[in-house]
């Protein structure tokens, strides 16, 4: 999957820079074109001669290559050349600069000019990695659509033992290859995705809703867009912004509006992922004026909403793939299996409110993906990482190797 891919490898000032030599060697061996960009601090740990020889291209790192002639290196052209940028090792210093838009060297200028996916492979001591400022910088970069390849656990240069070792070159190459593999699966595919809660009006002031924030659905939309899919996101009310410039977002409020949008768009889609938390019931009558607080006991008569998943499941045609979600509090696996069969879903993603860190409002999720051949459990991960797992599961089912 790396044959002919253009990859910028950014190198910052860490002892882990010695691993970058092998990373570049493996990428070139796999057929990739590699352009190395080094910071001044990185040159104190490994020489440009070494990395330039391995990449077969002159190393970049200075804006002006020849002051006498006025020759300069165009950071914009460098950034736009790349299919992907991998910053390995990524120090706490460079993470902080990138997260806050500080552009004082060639590498950060390339980063801020990039339109391609950016992967970071952190390398630092465990207390630096766990520090609140570093965690916040990582969170900010992820919110910009950047991806992180988690550091390993082991002995660090300080002599301490813990998390902070840069991922091994073989793992970095595997994750880069997986990205390009997934991207080719999804490129050009039309995907309809729902996310967020619905709000069912009681009167002009009040409504019935749930605790969904839309984070899982928006993480899926971002991953799909980065993989090249044509994404239409039907979103209930949420504070989240559009997760990727290419995502088309349609805002709805009620379960009825969400169904009508899905019903209108369904036939032209190749994959439909229903991640929204849609109300099962809605008030039978909506008051036209604000209801005053008078009675000690106040009853609202409710009626069922249209079951979007079941309705679309009945209409599904060969070549269409339908994925649902199940949030359960008891008998989780059995309930999710029955829901998949009952609604004619190809896959269903289960999470439980009994799992710490999963469910509404968290930036993490612990999922089980259930399909026709059984189920797979995944550990607690960021919702971004969970989204990648879900897309890989769909790819294996819908787009198997030919």
For position 358, what pLDDT does the model report?
Answer: 77
What b/e sequence results for 188-211 when a residue is b if at least 16 CB atoms lie within 10 Å of its CB, and e otherwise? ebebbbbbbbbbbebeeebbbbee
The helix/strand count (H/E) of the chain reads as 13, 23
323 and 239 share one domain: yes
In a domain, 46, yes or no: yes
In a domain, 1, yes or no: no
212 and 287 share one domain: yes
Length of the chain counted residue by residue: 402
Q: Which of 152, 183, 214 is the last residue of a domain?
A: 183
pLDDT along the chain (402 residues), means of 10: 89 94 95 94 95 94 70 82 93 95 93 91 88 92 86 76 84 85 81 97 95 94 86 95 86 97 96 97 95 91 97 95 93 94 97 79 90 92 89 91 66
Q: Which of 119, 151, 183 is the last residue of a domain?
A: 183
For position 149, what pLDDT does the model report?
Answer: 87
DSSP state for residue 221 in the 8-state scheme? H
Identify the domain containing residue 311 by its residue range. 187-398
Distance CA 115, CA 83 (A): 9
* Confidence (pTM): 0.64
339 is in an annotated binding site: yes
In a domain, 149, yes or no: yes
Count of the separate structural domains present in the chain: 2
In a domain, 156, yes or no: yes
290 is in an annotated binding site: yes
205 and 177 share one domain: no
In a domain, 136, yes or no: yes
Contacts of 109 (CB under 8 A, 6+ apart): 63, 75, 103
For position 69, what pLDDT does the model report?
Answer: 65
- CATH code of residue 312: 3.40.50.10300
Catalytic one among 74, 137, 146, 210? Answer: 210
172 and 213 share one domain: no
Q: What is the DSSP string of 226-239?
A: HTT-EEEEEE-S-S
280 is in an annotated binding site: yes
Known catalytic residue at 210 = yes
For position 328, what pLDDT does the model report?
Answer: 87
Q: Is the dihedral of CA 30, 35, 41, 47 positive or negative?
A: positive
Cα–Cα distances (Å) from 287 to 52, 202, 242, 290, in that order, read: 71, 6, 33, 7
Q: How far is CA 290 from the centre of its chain?
A: 41
Q: What are phi and psi of 377, to 5 degrees?
A: -95, 140
Q: Is the dihedral of CA 191, 195, 200, 206 positive or negative?
A: negative
Q: Which of 139, 163, 183 is the last residue of a domain?
A: 183
195 and 168 share one domain: no
In a domain, 157, yes or no: yes
284 and 335 share one domain: yes
- CATH code of residue 154: 3.40.50.1950
Q: Are 285 and 261 in contact (CB under 8 A)?
A: no
Q: Are 59 and 48 in contact (CB under 8 A)?
A: yes
């Amino acid at each position: 999957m790396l044959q002919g891919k253009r990859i910028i490898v950014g190198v910052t000032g860490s002892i882990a820079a010695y691993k970058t030599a092998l990373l570049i060697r493996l990428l070139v061996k796999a057929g990739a074109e590699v352009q190395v960009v080094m910071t001044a601090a990185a040159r104190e740990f490994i020489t440009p001669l070494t990395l330039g020889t391995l990449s077969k291209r002159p190393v970049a790192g200075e804006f002006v290559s020849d002051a006498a002639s006025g020759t300069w290196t165009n950071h914009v052209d460098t950034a736009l050349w790349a299919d992907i940028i991998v910053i390995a090792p990524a120090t706490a210093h460079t993470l902080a600069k990138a997260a806050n838009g500080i552009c004082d060297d060639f590498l950060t200028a390339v980063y801020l000019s990039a339109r391609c996916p950016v992967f970071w492979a952190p390398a630092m001591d465990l207390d630096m990695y766990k520090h609140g400022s570093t965690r916040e910088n990582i969170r900010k970069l992820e919110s910009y659509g950047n991806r992180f390849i988690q550091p390993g656990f082991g002995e660090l240069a300080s002599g301490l033992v813990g998390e902070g070792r840069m991922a091994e070159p073989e793992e970095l190459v595997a994750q880069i290859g997986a990205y390009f593999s997934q991207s080719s699966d999804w490129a050009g595919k039309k995907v309809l995705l729902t996310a967020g809660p619905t709000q069912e009006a009681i009167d002009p002031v009040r409504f019935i809703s749930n605790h969904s924030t839309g984070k899982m659905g928006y993480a899926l939309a971002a991953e799909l867009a980065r993989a090249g899919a044509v994404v239409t996101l039907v979103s209930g009310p949420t504070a989240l912004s559009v997760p990727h410039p290419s995502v088309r977002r349609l805002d709805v409020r009620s379960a009825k509006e969400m169904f009508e949008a899905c019903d209108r768009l369904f036939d032209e889609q190749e994959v439909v992922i229903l991640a929204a938390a849609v109300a099962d019931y809605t008030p039978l009558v909506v008051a036209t004026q604000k209801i005053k607080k008078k009675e000690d006991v106040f009853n609202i008569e409710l009626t069922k909403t249209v079951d979007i998943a079941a309705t679309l499941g009945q209409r599904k045609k060969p070549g269409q793939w339908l994925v649902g979600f199940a949030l359960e509090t008891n008998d989780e696996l059995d309930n999710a299996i029955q829901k998949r069969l009952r609604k004619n879903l190809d896959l269903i993603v289960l999470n439980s409110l009994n799992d710490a860190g999963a469910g509404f409002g968290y930036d993490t999720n612990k999922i089980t993906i259930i399909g026709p051949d059984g189920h797979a459990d995944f550990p607690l991960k960021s919702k971004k990482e969970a989204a990648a797992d879900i897309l890989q599961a769909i790819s294996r089912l819908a787009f198997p190797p030919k």
